[in-house]
Amino acid sequence: GAVVSQHPSRVICKSGTSVKIECRSLDFQATTMFWYRQFPKQSLMLMATSNEGSKATYEQGVEKDKFLINHASLTLSTLTVTSAHPEDSSFYICSAEPDRGKETQYFGPGTRLLVL
Amino acid sequence: AQKITQTQPGMFVQEKEAVTLDCTYDTSDQSYGLFWYKQPSSGEMIFLIYQGSYDEQNATEGRYSLNFQKARKSANLVISASQLGDSAMYFCAMRELDGFKTIFGAGTRLFVKA
């Protein structure tokens, strides 16, 4: 199956700093990538849909100035958590779909963010 | 609005037995896709099986099969011959095929006993 990577896998940072998470599709081009957030023992919540070459579409309640998304190429999307606070600590997962209308999206391994 | 319901927070199954994980959904769309994903403790989301709303036959992938009952809006996952490595969280998900978004159920944690 298609491979999606995320970097870093874990990050610990101080409150007030910014953290960038990269999501890469390794063996396919992804017009669309998705960013999810998962709190412990909870389900995945879609944060935003990232389209190559255009602005991301954010879900209701997600601050676009807080969670900056850039989809500069067909294989890379980045999520930057700006001025991170402890409540931003979570598991962030990206996914990508090879073609519109394909059966499934492929998920990255996730990034665990801990803000102290 | 779309909705996915998984009513079993946790399930236990004996190794080598079959187990059914429940999933019901709600949508007003005629075209949609249903998915099951496995999430082990490492956190990665592993795609297991897909069922399209117009597929007449139930999807099967190895030990996984999807019991699709469209009229009841249910898409239960059946795992046959459970293995210890099947212990994980399992998420049911749905995507309307003219949209981008996939929504996930709350998940079911499966414990396989030796």
Candidate from A60-64, B30-34, B99-103 with smallest mean pLDDT:
B99-103
CB contact under 8 A, B43 and A91: yes
Q: Contact at 8 Å (CB) between A103 and B50?
A: yes
B43 contacts on A by Cβ (under 8 Å): 38, 91, 93, 109-110, 112
CB contact under 8 A, B97 and A103: no
pLDDT for position B29: 87
> Hey, what are B75's tokens?
């898409």
Q: Which residues pair with A44 in a beta bridge?
A: A38
Residue type, A23: C
Mean model confidence pLDDT for chain A: 91
Phi-psi region of A41 (alpha: psi -120 to 50; beta: other; left: phi over 0): left
pLDDT tens digits, residue range A73-92? 889 999 999 999 999 999 99
> Hey, what are B112's tokens?
């396989």
* Nearest Cβ partner for B105 among A43, A93, A104: A43
Q: What is the mean pLDDT of residues A2-31?
A: 94
B52 contacts on A by Cβ (under 8 Å): 103
CB contact under 8 A, B91 and A43: yes
Q: What is the mean pLDDT of residues A14-40?
A: 93
Which residues contact residue A99 at a Cβ distance below 8 angstroms, ignoring those fewer than 6 apart? A31
Hey, how many other C-beta atoms are within 10 angstroms of the C-beta on B5? 14
pLDDT for position B79: 98
> Hey, what are B55's tokens?
């597929």
Among chain A residues, the shortest Cα distance to B45 is held by A107
Q: What is the mean pLDDT of residues B7-19?
A: 96
Residue type, A73: S
Q: Residue A71: name the closest of A93, A38, A90, A49 by CA.
A: A49
Output the DSSP codes for chain A: ---EEEE-SEEEE-TT--EEEEEEESSS--SEEEEEEE-TTS-EEEEEEEETTSPPEEPTT--TTTEEEEEEETTEEEEEE-S--GGG-EEEEEEEESSTT-S--EE---EEEEE-
